[in-house]
Amino acid sequence: MTVGQAFDRSVKYYDDWMKLALPSYDALFSTALELIPFDEKSPIKVLDLGAGTGLFSEHILSKYPKAEFLLSDLAPKMLEVAKERFRGNDGQFKYLVDDYRHYQVTRKYDLVISSLSIHHLEDIEKKNLFTKIYQSLKNTGIFINIDQIKGPTQSIQDLYWSDWLRKVREKEAPEEQILASIQRRKEYDKDALLVDQLRWLSEAGFANADCVYKNYFIGVFFASKEINN
């Protein structure tokens, strides 16, 4: 089973699950919005990689109601949910069922976003993708990635996941969904160290790169291009 097929199987409960599975859900996305520097009336162009059901794009739309979006994901059923979510904004949204490991730069964006997706790539694939993202941004473009972080030691890694398991069970998340998430993690997750992810962003060419918010194994990564012609 591919990662796209695995997530298509979770489509019926995915949105609710994400709000249970991310104990810091509100803080993650509010932080991401705070980082975006553009005028809120601007029709910024946004690329959402691994968009899923469109949760991250929905947050962006709430702040930038004139934005134009391209949502890309491997899982067609997830994108069908996104299409329904944005039915009232059809003219602002385009959708692409695609493997962004093979993403080709064909246009420039003000903002590239991703959430809980890039950690499925091998390290060299992450590094290559960051370079492509850099190339796809306008000169003042921004990249924001909400994603998983590997613990620097096995003890820290164990701490991350025991804390996560305790918190999702305290929220009374369905055990079936918890077990399905654990299985997906075993099969598809390829988390990278914080220091490596920041280094790859810098090596891609980003002038500024940082993890501006972190809660155990989840962080909000910010990178700006800032090229002066």
- In a domain, residue 133? The reply is yes
- In a domain, residue 179? The reply is yes
Total tally of structural domains belonging to the chain: 1
92-122 per-position pLDDT tens digit = 999 999 999 988 888 999 999 999 999 999 9
pLDDT of residue 176: 87
- In a domain, residue 149? The reply is yes
- In a domain, residue 229? The reply is no
What domain range is 93 assigned to? 3-224
170-211 per-position pLDDT tens digit = 988 888 888 888 888 888 899 999 999 999 999 999 999 999
* String of DSSP letters for the chain: --HHHHHHTTTTTHHHHHHHH-TTHHHHHHHHHHH--S-TTS--EEEEET-TTSHHHHHHHHH-TT-EEEEEES-HHHHHHHHHHTGGGGGGEEEEE--GGG----S-EEEEEEES-GGGS-HHHHHHHHHHHHHHEEEEEEEEEEEE-B-SSHHHHHHHHHHHHHHHHHTT--HHHHHHHHHHHHHH----BHHHHHHHHHHHT-SEEEEEEEETTEEEEEEE-----
17-71 per-position pLDDT tens digit = 888 888 799 999 999 999 999 999 999 999 999 999 999 999 999 999 999 999 9
- In a domain, residue 200? The reply is yes
CATH number of the domain at 32, please.
Answer: 3.40.50.150
